[in-house]
Amino acid sequence: MLRIENVSLFRIIGTPDTTDEKKLGKISSASSKRVKHNILLAAFKSVAITPFAFPFNNITRAREALKLQTLPYAPAGKMELFPVVIKKTPRSSSGVALHIPSAELENFPTPSSQAENIVWPAPLPLAAKVGGEGVTFWVDEDNICSMLWRGGVPVFYRWKSRADTDIKAEYAWYERYCRSKGEEIGEVFTLDATNPSQLADFQNIAKESMALFPWICGVNMSRRALDSAVVLERTVHSLSKVACWVLIIGLLALTGNAMRLYEARRNTSALRTRTVELYRSVFEPARTGNIPDPIGLARFHVHQARGYFSEGRSISEMFYDLGHIFEQNPDIGVTVDVARYNSSGVDYTGTAPDMEAVHRFRGAWAERADSAHISNLNIVPGGSGYRFDLSVRW
């Protein structure tokens, strides 16, 4: 925020778009020891003022929109614009755009201090003297420039060479102009920069205008401010492209994750259904009857569901070997109650009348497989034989 105490005021002596050497005339120095800004007052020859109102409050977007509006009338690189936001809400902005030929922004003299330079149209800081309703005139050695104000907002800018006219003729021109629009000219204030007594009070006038119309502090028609705005626009444009690609990649990632989530839920549902089916196939008496070893049968079904039986000796080969054993040993006396098959082997639970039969059954399988081991050997209650588990692996 500009504070007049931290501002040194200068005026540019000469016409901005001429090749003649232009000089700086100091109007006042900052009262504070810390000079943060230099304000340069320029008597521009051509400044067009147009109002704008947009349903957004971003100044960069406002510049882009204004460029599109003026593109058909202003050749690229020949006209520059400076949007000035006067009213701003969270969802809208309005103000005026200052259009000026690029040539008038070249070859400005600058103070030797390191403070930031701000360029204003010379009649701009005189607004308080007409209360924002009327005409403010700036007169110097070569120029007469003026601004017409309505409702605290500049609506028209005019420049004439002092060699071609005088202040009375300019005042008469504004009277005719306002009369043609059915308006009153309003208050009129003239500051003659060649008069030291009038120039001495300029700092107070500027301070009063800045307090009455705070948006004036946001005006800066310097080449540096324009270049900064262009760089910002390019940066925003580049970042917008990056953000667009990031958004696309994010959407693709989100779509992939959604598909994976759908597939996981579908697999979970299928697994839940299969689990229930396996449980019922083993533990529901109405479907299985009286099974001596339901846990073993459940393990068999689980292995079958996991694909454990996709390799190795087939189940038909296993039954062929079992039948061949009984055919070769018709008097073995072994009864097989449960056979649990998988690709790596088969587990039997059975009964035998004596230990010899158990060992004969194990030996017969040992000849046909890599290994055959007896486990869980128990006497059948009543002493009528033995119950055993045989694990065969191939």
Is residue 173 located within the same domain as residue 55?
Answer: yes
Is residue 198 located within the same domain as residue 327?
Answer: no
Higher pLDDT, 186 or 76: 186
- Would 150 be classed as within a structural domain? yes
Please determine, for residue 257, whether its predicted confidence score (pLDDT) is greater than 50: yes
Task: Quote the pTM value.
Answer: 0.57
Is residue 204 located within the same domain as residue 333?
Answer: no
- Would 294 be classed as within a structural domain? no
CB 121 within 8 A of CB 201: no
- Would 257 be classed as within a structural domain? no
Number of domains in the chain: 2
Q: CA–CA separation, 102 vs 96, rounded Å?
A: 18
Is residue 52 located within the same domain as residue 192?
Answer: yes
Domain end position, chosen among 221, 241, 268: 221
- The mean of the pLDDT values for the chain is 82
- Would 132 be classed as within a structural domain? yes
Please determine, for residue 348, whether its predicted confidence score (pLDDT) is greater than 60: yes
Provide CB contacts within 8 A for 29, sequence distance 6+. Answer: 8, 35
Is residue 206 located within the same domain as residue 326?
Answer: no
Mean pLDDT of 326-343: 87
- Would 245 be classed as within a structural domain? no
Q: Model confidence over 293-309: pLDDT tens digits? A: 566 666 666 655 555 44
Please determine, for residue 17, whether its predicted confidence score (pLDDT) is greater than 60: no
Domain end position, chosen among 221, 241, 273: 221
Domain end position, chosen among 171, 203, 221: 221
Is residue 179 located within the same domain as residue 51?
Answer: yes
- Would 56 be classed as within a structural domain? yes
Q: Give the domain range for residue 387.
A: 312-393
- Would 98 be classed as within a structural domain? yes
Q: CA–CA separation, 90 vs 83, rounded Å?
A: 18
Provide CB contacts within 8 A for 149, sequence distance 6+. Answer: 127, 130, 132, 133, 134, 135, 136, 155, 186
Q: 67-97: buried (b, 16+ CB within 10 Å) or exposed (e) per residue? A: beeeeeebeeeebbbbbbbbeeeeeebbbbb
Specify which residues 81 forms β-bridges with. Answer: 99
